[in-house]
A and B are shown apart, each in its own frame.
Chain A
Amino acid sequence: MSDLLSQDFLTALIAGGLVAAVPLLYASLGELVAEQAGVLNVGLGGYMLLGAFLAFVITYNTGSEWLGMLAGIVAGAAGALVMAVLCVRMNLDQIVIGIAILLVAEGATSLLHGAAYAESRPSLGSPSELAIPGLKEIPILGESLFSQNAIVYIGIALAFVVGWVLKRTSAGLSIRAAGERPEALDAAGVSVTATRTWATLCAGGLAGLGGAYLVIVGAGSFTPFITQGSGFIAIVIAMLSRGRAPWTIVGAVLFGLSLSVATALQLIGVNIQTDYVQMLPFVVVIVVLVLFARRSYLPSALALPYVRGEK
């Protein structure tokens, strides 16, 4: 049986949970913005994959994590641009196009990776860490929480910034109006199409950044289908957050830590069938859903195209 009090072990578990949470945090944060504007991105996992692949290529070839992260944003936004053109501008079905984007991203990244890197299987090495002076020395928590890649701290701060923008600024009001009463926004002279387009691009960029983090920090390499359904989990987290951006931190960290707890339960030899242990992260999400979903609320115009003059 494992020594539960081992500092290294607990540090690895908490750090692992946080690493698993960050891609979900970015993707769910972006999806939350898009949903508030009335756009449901079923292809969120596709944006993540595109971001992951381009981030891998750029980081591997330049050696710069930051250029890789930037490439992830660009690639994710490019995927979202397709969504914006087809669904926001041309009013095609958001579910169908979302599925198409996910399938294209899975196929294209698998194809490109197979052609360029399948033989060499390069890895990106250890990611950089930014230790916060004073806090890093705290036992267990210091090493696991306050000695992370800078993009982790940026993500947490961004959740609060997005929350503030949505609640306190005219841009945020426009976004929420685009998802709730787009005809009212239109009547006020603000373009619903432009608002939804920017929100969708925001979702793509942030999901792409999540994918970039996944390959640069989480895995250290790219493999086809690496996101493993993270896009759908991020959509659930975004919906559970009820439009409150900081809650995406709670949802993502809860899921990530549940994965670590599942690993810990196996290593300490708890006599429970592994199948049940592996269900833990999903059970946690379902429990949270049951506890909080009654008050959850989705924009009334979510996934509906907006056409001026049509009700």
Chain B
Amino acid sequence: MEEQRIIERGRGGRGGRGGRGTRLIAALAGLLLAGAIVAGCGSDDDNGGDDSGGGSGDAPISEFAIVAPEKGNDYGWNQQAVEAATQVADELGIEVEIADNSGYEDISPILRELSTGGAEFVVAQASGYNTTAPDVAAQTGVPELIWDNPEANEPGISANASTASQQGAYLAGMLAAETTKTGKLGIVISADDVNWNKMSGGFVAGARSVDPEIEVELAQIGQAGYADTAGGKRVTEAVIADGADIVFGMGDGSSFGMLQAVENADDVKFIDVIGDKSPVDDQGVLLSSVLWNFEGLYKDAIADIGDGTFGEEGYELDLENGGISLLQTDQIDDQTWSDIQDAKQKIIDGDIKVPLTEEKSQVDALINEG
């Protein structure tokens, strides 16, 4: 009994600062505060939602939403998506709700909130959302556009989007092969990612179309090194030290580390993907970029919703519809650009078949063929 009282006193009266229950509540409150701050980083952007104010006009919907995993100012996937959505809203005179920086965890609460909050169409802009989003669409009845899940095409519910990004990478490979002085090209990827693999394969094929003997080497930063800037710099430095003078980098945040490594080296150029980093290219090392433009894709999806055909088939960004293109910079000479334009037309016409390498092993095999 005495021992019990001692235990109770000890638990309840630690220096008069409250007991275990109080501490637990305080600790949980701290955790909730942390969660609130983290959640605050995601801009489920009521103010940022672009109220174009023009009414719906002829558009089949009056409001749509886009959910992106990271902030829409990354000079890459998220920025391209947010800018395209804003542009589409402006052109159609409808509203867009932007929920960027939504992370990669369970996205269903955000999707559900947007679907029940007025959006008549939701873009789930991450392949990591491609199983959750169709479920939410089926539950709410609001159609969702998802990425890299062809099995999820469901009329009126969900439609898949993908890219023929290997086509743009093929052109980038041609550019690299025509520009290199060392005869060795480097590819740096942040993860074993389907899109990175597709573009790596296209790049190798494009380079070998110019010089079948050209050396290409590939290095991966980590299992999911998308934000590993230091890793991007470290791996790219190793690739450059091994003789590569053109680096084709795919990485999201880590690509800024790749760019740093290229800037610190002599006579090395960088080819980026998805976005245009020209505004932050202080050293003039950016040779080009395989650009992805989502604008036409979103417009087509909205039009199909109006026609009642949404979800009957998927969408693809490619050279022909302008969803994929190669950035022209002043570092590319006229003859090289002309060659690239010829190849582009041949790809569109089907005269050049660009290999599709969705698996890393396929890319490795392609590289080893050289």
Residues of chain A whose beta carbon lies under 8 Å from any beta carbon of chain B: 2-3, 6, 8-9, 11-13, 15-16, 19-20, 23, 86, 90-93, 96-97, 99-104, 106-108, 110-111, 114, 118-123, 125-126, 214, 218-226, 228, 259-260, 263-264, 266-267, 269, 273-275, 277-278, 305, 307-311
B-side contacts of A224, CB under 8 Å:
70-71, 227, 253
B-side contacts of A267, CB under 8 Å:
217, 219, 238-239, 242
Is B38 within 8 A of A126, CB to CB?
A: no
Segment among B28-36, B105-113, B138-146, B154-162 that sits at the interface with chain A: B28-36
Q: List 28 A-B contacts (CB under 8 A).
A: A9-B241, A12-B237, A13-B238, A90-B17, A92-B23, A92-B26, A96-B27, A99-B34, A100-B30, A103-B31, A104-B34, A107-B40, A107-B41, A118-B73, A125-B264, A219-B233, A221-B229, A223-B229, A224-B227, A226-B227, A228-B228, A260-B234, A263-B234, A263-B235, A269-B217, A269-B368, A277-B220, A310-B10
Within the complex, what minimum Cβ distance (angstroms) separates A296 from chain B? 26
The B13-55 residues at the A interface (CB cut-off 8 A) are 14-15, 17, 23-24, 26-28, 30-31, 33-35, 37-41
Q: How far is the CA of A92 from the CA of B26 in the complex (A)?
A: 7
Within the complex, what minimum Cβ distance (angstroms) separates B73 from chain A? 4
Is A219 within 8 A of B260, CB to CB?
A: yes
Q: A90-B23, A114-B71, A221-B260 are in contact. Are A20 and B234 (CB under 8 A)?
A: yes
Q: Looking at the complex, which one of B15, B30, B74, B241 makes contact with A307 (CB distance below 8 Å)?
A: B15
Chain A CB within 8 A of B192 CB: yes
Q: How far is the CA of A227 from the CA of B28 in the complex (A)?
A: 25
B-side contacts of A263, CB under 8 Å:
219, 234-235, 238
Other than A6-B241, A125-B263, A308-B15, give 20 A-B pairs with Cβ distance below 8 A. A9-B238, A16-B237, A20-B230, A90-B23, A92-B23, A99-B31, A108-B37, A110-B41, A121-B277, A122-B280, A123-B256, A123-B263, A218-B234, A219-B257, A219-B260, A225-B227, A228-B222, A259-B234, A305-B14, A307-B15
Q: How far is the CA of A305 from the CA of B280 in the complex (A)?
A: 49
Is B229 within 8 A of A219, CB to CB?
A: yes
A-side contacts of B227, CB under 8 Å:
223-226, 228
Question: By DSSP majority rule, is chain B's interface helix, strand, loop, or mixed?
Answer: helix
B-side contacts of A11, CB under 8 Å:
241
Q: How far is the CA of A266 from the CA of B235 in the complex (A)?
A: 10
The B190-249 residues at the A interface (CB cut-off 8 A) are 192, 217-220, 222-223, 225, 227-235, 237-243
Is B360 within 8 A of A220, CB to CB?
A: no
Is B10 within 8 A of A307, CB to CB?
A: yes
* Highest count of chain B CB atoms <10 Å: which of A3, A218, A223, A307: A223
A-side contacts of B368, CB under 8 Å:
269
Q: How far is the CA of A243 from the CA of B254 in the complex (A)?
A: 34
Bin chain B's interface residue count. 35 or more
Q: How far is the CA of A99 from the CA of B38 in the complex (A)?
A: 12
Within the complex, what minimum Cβ distance (angstroms) separates A68 from chain B? 15
Within the complex, what minimum Cβ distance (angstroms) separates A203 from chain B? 18
Q: A2-B242, A97-B30 are in contact. Are A278 and B223 (CB under 8 A)?
A: yes
Is A310 within 8 A of B71, CB to CB?
A: no
Within the complex, what minimum Cβ distance (angstroms) separates B37 from chain A? 4
Is B41 within 8 A of A278, CB to CB?
A: no
Q: How far is the CA of A306 from the CA of B58 in the complex (A)?
A: 69
* Highest count of chain A CB atoms <10 Å: which of B10, B41, B70, B230: B230
Is B34 within 8 A of A107, CB to CB?
A: yes
Question: By DSSP majority rule, is chain A's interface helix, strand, loop, or mixed?
Answer: helix
Q: Looking at the complex, which one of A91, A93, A99, A121 makes contact with B17 (CB distance below 8 Å)?
A: A91
Q: How far is the CA of A223 from the CA of B226 in the complex (A)?
A: 11
Within the complex, what minimum Cβ distance (angstroms) separates B102 from chain A? 12
Is B34 within 8 A of A121, CB to CB?
A: no
Chain A CB within 8 A of B125 CB: no
Q: Looking at the complex, which one of B39, B241, B277 makes contact with A12 (CB distance below 8 Å)?
A: B241
Is B28 within 8 A of A228, CB to CB?
A: no
Is B74 within 8 A of A118, CB to CB?
A: yes
Which chain B residue has the least Cβ–Cβ distance from A93? B27
Which chain B residue has the least Cβ–Cβ distance from A17? B234
Chain A CB within 8 A of B115 CB: no
A-side contacts of B230, CB under 8 Å:
19-20, 23, 214, 218-219, 226, 228
Within the complex, what minimum Cβ distance (angstroms) separates A214 from chain B? 6
Q: Looking at the complex, which one of B24, B217, B242 makes contact with A6 (CB distance below 8 Å)?
A: B242
